[in-house]
Amino acid sequence: MHKLRLSICLLAALSLSLWAWAPTANAENVSGPTNLILCNKVAVQEVGFTTSTAIVPAVAGQTIFLCGWNVTNTGANGTIAFTTGTQTTNPCDTGTKKLSPTFNVSSNSPNQDHSQYASNSSNLSQALCATSSAATMSVLIWYAQF
């Protein structure tokens, strides 16, 4: 009988200690949301822009989630950068947020970064823009917006 009581006490103590170590619902979201965002849209900007150009327009109350890009250049050299923002005078000139560094793109060196899941996002109600130094750039963007 003594061994049975001892076994029950040990089992209870073990159960309580395991329960205390169990993760809580809040611990799951310590480093961010648990749901990945899949990009289900594509935007294209053909050749011919050298200023900040809205590639994906802003929608009130929505965020743009960026999964990737493919930039080609038919000219010798140029640079491109992706930002988000709202428009006061030019696209993305207010509340600007950088989504990428400035990339060099030449005719024999396109720039591409693409993932199935979003890796960066705009602020709420902002457009996604590209700023190019050469009018020979073409841009393809993979994104989600909601």
pLDDT at 107: 84
Which of 103, 90, 118, 113 has its CA nearest to residue 33? Answer: 118
Model's pTM, two decimal places? 0.72
Domain assignment of residue 132, yes or no: yes
In angstroms, rounded to a whole number, what is the distance separating the alpha carbons of residues 91 and 56?
10
Mean pLDDT on 61-74: 93
More confident residue, 64 or 11: 64
CB 69 within 8 A of CB 82: yes
Domain that residue 71 falls in: 41-145
Domain assignment of residue 54, yes or no: yes
CA distances (Å), origin 135, targets 19, 39, 80, 84, 102: 62, 27, 11, 20, 16
Domain assignment of residue 92, yes or no: yes
For the chain, the domain total comes to: 1
pLDDT at 48: 77
Q: Is the pLDDT of residue 18 over 70?
A: no
Helix ranges (H only) for the chain are 2-21
pLDDT at 11: 52
CATH at 81: 2.60.120
Average pLDDT score over the chain: 81
Domain assignment of residue 91, yes or no: yes
Domain assignment of residue 52, yes or no: yes
Domain assignment of residue 55, yes or no: yes
pLDDT at 30: 46
The pLDDT-based confidence of 40 (bands split at 50, 70, 90) is very high
Domain assignment of residue 77, yes or no: yes
Mean pLDDT on 69-83: 91
More confident residue, 42 or 120: 42
pLDDT at 127: 97
